[in-house]
Chain A
Amino acid sequence: MSFRGTTTLLSRATRIKSKLQSSLEATVLELDDVSYQHAGHAAMKESSEKETHFNLKIVSDKFEGQSLVKRHRMVYDLLSDELQSGLHALSIVAKTPKEITPHAK
Chain B
Amino acid sequence: VGVVDEPDRDALTQAWKSWMEEYIKVSGKVPPGNESGNVTWTRPQPKKKPDLRLTPGRHVQLTVPLEELVDKLVKENKVVAFIKGSRSAPLCGFSQKVIGILEKEGVDYESVNVLDEDYNYGLRETLKQYSNWPTFPQIFLNGELVGGCDILTSMFEKGEIAGLFKN
Residue positions of A touching B, CB distance < 8 A: 37-38, 41-43, 68-69, 72-73, 76, 80, 83, 88-93
| A91 to B: closest C-beta gap in Å | 5
Map CB proximity to A onto B59-70 as digits: 1 under 8 Å, 0 otherwise: 000000000000
- The answer for the CA separation of A72 and B149 in the assembled complex, in Å, is 11
The reply to whether the CB of B135 lies closer than 8 angstroms to some CB of chain A is yes
CB within 8 Å of A: which of B110-167? 115, 132-135, 145-151, 154
Enumerate chain A residues within 8 angstroms of B150, measured Cβ to Cβ: 68, 72, 91-93
- Residue tally, chain B, CB below 8 Å to A: 19
- The answer for the CA separation of A80 and B128 in the assembled complex, in Å, is 11
Known pairs A42-B92, A72-B133 / 9 extra A-B pairs, C-beta < 8 Å: A37-B93, A43-B91, A43-B115, A69-B146, A69-B151, A72-B147, A91-B94, A91-B150, A92-B150
The reply to whether the CB of B87 lies closer than 8 angstroms to some CB of chain A is no
Pick from A68, A80, A83: contact of B147, CB below 8 A.
Answer: A68
Complex: chain A residue closest to B153, CB-CB: A91
Residue positions of B touching A, CB distance < 8 A: 84-85, 91-94, 115, 132-135, 145-151, 154
- The answer for the CA separation of A6 and B166 in the assembled complex, in Å, is 52
Complex: chain A residue closest to B134, CB-CB: A83
- The answer for the CA separation of A37 and B97 in the assembled complex, in Å, is 15
Pick from A42, A68, A83: contact of B115, CB below 8 A.
Answer: A42
Complex: chain A residue closest to B92, CB-CB: A41
- Determine whether the beta carbon of B94 is less than 8 Å from that of A89: yes
- The answer for the CA separation of A92 and B135 in the assembled complex, in Å, is 12
- The answer for the CA separation of A91 and B148 in the assembled complex, in Å, is 9
Enumerate chain B residues within 8 angstroms of A88, measured Cβ to Cβ: 135
- Determine whether the beta carbon of B133 is less than 8 Å from that of A73: yes
- Determine whether the beta carbon of A80 is less than 8 Å from that of B134: yes
Pick from A42, A68, A76: contact of B151, CB below 8 A.
Answer: A68
Between-chain CB contacts (< 8 Å), 25 pairs: A37-B93, A38-B93, A42-B92, A43-B92, A43-B115, A68-B150, A68-B151, A69-B145, A69-B146, A69-B147, A69-B151, A72-B133, A72-B147, A72-B148, A73-B132, A76-B133, A76-B135, A83-B134, A88-B135, A89-B94, A90-B135, A91-B94, A91-B150, A92-B150, A93-B150
